Amino acid sequence: MNASLLVAEAGPVGMCAAIAAASRGIDVVVVEANSADRSADAKCNTVASRTMETLRGFGIAEQVRDAGLPDDFPTDVVYASSVAGPEFTRIGLPSRAERRPDPFPKGFPDTGWRTPEPFVRVSQLYLNPILARRMHATPGITVLHDTQVLGYEQDAEQVRVQVKDGTGANRALTARYLIGADGGRSAIRHAMGVRLQGDAELARMRSTLVRAPGLKALFDGRRPAWMTWIANHKVRGVAVAIDGADTWLLHRQVPSGTSDFDALDLHGSIRDLLGVSEDFHYEVLNHEDWTGRRMVASRLRDGRVFLAGDAAHLWVPFAGYGMNAGIADGMNIAWLVANVLEGWADPAMLDAYETERHPITEQVSRLAMQSMLDTIDAMGENTVPPSLASRLNPAAIAMRKVLGAKLHKLNVPQFAPEGLNFGYYYEGSPIIADDGEKAPPYTMGSVTPSTVPGCRMPHFWLAPNDSVYDHLGPAYTLLRFDPAVPVEPLLAAARRARMPLALLDAPARRDDPAFKHALLIVRRDQHVAWRGNTVPARPSDLVAKLCGREKGAA
């Protein structure tokens, strides 16, 4: 079987990359080791705003938003001695009903974000089937289930991918390009000879998906929480609401200093996490022991082969950063490959992938992991005496107040990560026209909107529920904020180079300090590629750069 693009495998990263490429008319083969009816795991339970913007482009954002938790279930994050025990602090976040009709209701930490799509607390149990339906409905995608990727070889023209199908037979598939989105044990990364670098072990965890009809009642009249971080003298961990009713994911940390997962009793640790006795009823639906890591691949490319998602970076599934960063990887390389396969972009454009994504992968992993480590440290074993769970002890009440204030300040940015969603920028990319201005710095929780080339163009509405992002073309879009500025020389240069460049006339942004120029060229992924007040004197040079070619080649 031959294809222009082969994607291994069909997790969220691979499915998004496949949909994005096929939507451009590229023929895609997706190789997936599991059967079509295998259910997803529940590790990731957050779909970030940037990912929701991607899903909006696929036409499935509302389906994802409506999945999982009921309309009235809050997405609060609580820190407590157990699910049933006294709280240290609470980060209030809205339910789906509280977001409507305004997607950013007042009184919550994410009020005022510049995006058409607030983040969603939804499990992969529900996200993956929605993506799979969208993938199977996209013309040009062939999915090979029960097929395992073994490795690859390549030459100057194509990649030969060795696979084993459901019958146990080995065969070879050929493609122009290969995206390895095949997870932490990636066969593609292994075949590349690429090593993961970083922290090989941050924590050992026991994760159990349970059906517990009585668990929600443990909040005992309090507003229920989507996520409860728990620290007591017996266990540390997290309880996550999956369906807002009976299904919950329970993470427990194995005590430091031991490599034996069974040193933490499976069922005893669940009861300690919940704060219940042995007569509390629950059913184990799935269980996994795993090691939390912060590891990043030393490189993301080998010729026609690219790594994305967990194949490129591994860290604790903490607030969904791994999956969401992986989807950004997949969308980036799918966009680049589609440009090249369409024939107008030089293959040198593919150099942008590693230049753009590798620094972000490293940076995001450190931000996410430092947040996790700071939280673990604040809730450390040595600071959790048994008396902390007492509701009446004055010293315990005072201690919870102090600890709660620290945890609240530390973790609001983690659960309302405006900077992590919208602040990252691509510096030094070969296909971005730098104009000398530095991109503004950002933190996990804060960002300064900017149109500096390489930054994400700040969102704005053209009309109610009509996002400027909805009008971006498949490759590049020229936004003109002053209709008096002539742009035909630039459009003509793009036509000569066969580079798709859509023109979008938008209302002037006079009261928006982020927009200082009359013209912007924006990529499909919303990153600014160029800006100016007039068309360049040599527009062919700019077009050549955006096509990945040398100056004057357009």
Assign residue 443 a region (left: φ > 0; alpha: ψ between -120 and 50; beta: otherwise). beta
Ranking 173-187, 195-209, 228-242, 432-446 by mean pLDDT, the lowest is 195-209
Closest C-alpha among 396, 456, 464 to residue 420: 456
Confidence category of residue 383, pLDDT binned at 50, 70, 90: low
What are the structural domains of the chain?
2-67+122-198+296-369 (3.50.50.60), 423-546 (3.40.30.120)
Confidence category of residue 360, pLDDT binned at 50, 70, 90: confident
> Above pLDDT 70, what percent of the chain?
95
Please enumerate in sequence order all residues whose Cβ is within 8 A of that of 200, keeping only pairs 6 or more positions apart, or say none: 293, 295
| Distance separating alpha carbons of residues 47 and 213, to the nearest angstrom | 26
- Ordered DSSP codes for 46-84: -B-HHHHHHHHHHT-HHHHHTSSS-TT----EEEESSSS
Q: Is 94 exposed, middle or buried (0-12, 13-18, 19+ CB in 10 A)?
A: buried
Note the pLDDT tens digit of each residue in 72-100: 999 999 999 999 999 999 999 999 999 98
| Distance separating alpha carbons of residues 156 and 168, to the nearest angstrom | 30
pLDDT at 554: 42
502 phi, psi to nearest 5 deg: -80, 150
pLDDT at 381: 53
Nearest 5°: CA angle at 289, between 286 and 293? 130
Residue 369 pLDDT > 70: no
| Distance separating alpha carbons of residues 90 and 108, to the nearest angstrom | 12
pLDDT at 317: 64
How much is the average pLDDT of 519-534? 98
pLDDT at 387: 86
Going from the C-alpha of 472 to that of each of 23, 57, 146, 478, 520, the distances in angstroms are 14, 10, 37, 9, 12
How much is the average pLDDT of 338-346? 98
Exposure string over 435-459, b if 16+ CB within 10 A, otherwise e: eeeebeebebbebbbbbbbbbbbbb
Which letter does DSSP use for residue 456 in this model?
Answer: B
pLDDT at 454: 98
Q: Which residue has the higher pLDDT, 319 or 18?
A: 18
Residue 551 pLDDT > 60: no
Sign of CA dihedral 461, 473, 520, 432: positive
Coil, strand, or helix at residue 343? coil
Q: Residue 391's CB: how many other CB atoms inside 10 A?
A: 10
- Ordered DSSP codes for 196-231: EEEEEEEEEEEEEEEE-TTSGGGGTTSPP-SEEEEE
Confidence category of residue 216, pLDDT binned at 50, 70, 90: very high
| Distance separating alpha carbons of residues 177 and 305, to the nearest angstrom | 6
21 phi, psi to nearest 5 deg: -70, -45
pLDDT at 382: 56
The predicted model scores a pTM of 0.95
pLDDT at 217: 97
Length of the chain: 554
Residue 366 pLDDT > 50: yes
Residue 469 pLDDT > 70: yes
Residue 202 pLDDT > 90: no
Note the pLDDT tens digit of each residue in 142-192: 999 999 999 999 999 999 999 999 889 999 999 999 999 999 999 999 999
Residue 553 pLDDT > 50: no
Going from the C-alpha of 53 to that of each of 102, 305, 467, 526, the distances in angstroms are 17, 26, 10, 10
Note the pLDDT tens digit of each residue in 286-297: 999 998 888 899
Q: Are 254 and 203 in contact (CB under 8 A)?
A: yes
Residue 531 pLDDT > 90: yes
| Distance separating alpha carbons of residues 347 and 340, to the nearest angstrom | 6
Note the pLDDT tens digit of each residue in 411-449: 999 899 999 999 999 999 999 999 999 999 998 899 999
Q: Are 281 and 233 in contact (CB under 8 A)?
A: no
Closest C-alpha among 508, 514, 369, 512 to residue 440: 514
Sign of CA dihedral 177, 182, 184, 188: negative
Going from the C-alpha of 89 to that of each of 81, 263, 371, 389, 390, the distances in angstroms are 11, 29, 17, 13, 15
pLDDT at 320: 66
Note the pLDDT tens digit of each residue in 10-44: 999 999 999 999 999 999 999 999 998 888 888 89
| Distance separating alpha carbons of residues 322 and 51, to the nearest angstrom | 12
| Distance separating alpha carbons of residues 361 and 278, to the nearest angstrom | 43
Mean pLDDT (the chain) is 93
| Distance separating alpha carbons of residues 27 and 2, to the nearest angstrom | 9
Residue 552 pLDDT > 70: no
Ranking 238-242, 380-384, 503-507 by mean pLDDT, the lowest is 380-384
Going from the C-alpha of 461 to that of each of 52, 418, 468, the distances in angstroms are 16, 18, 6
Confidence category of residue 373, pLDDT binned at 50, 70, 90: low
How much is the average pLDDT of 265-287? 97
| Distance separating alpha carbons of residues 148 and 186, to the nearest angstrom | 11
- Ordered DSSP codes for 252-298: EEPPTT---GGGS-HHHHHHHHHT--TT---EEEEEEEEEEEEEEES
Note the pLDDT tens digit of each residue in 302-311: 999 999 999 9
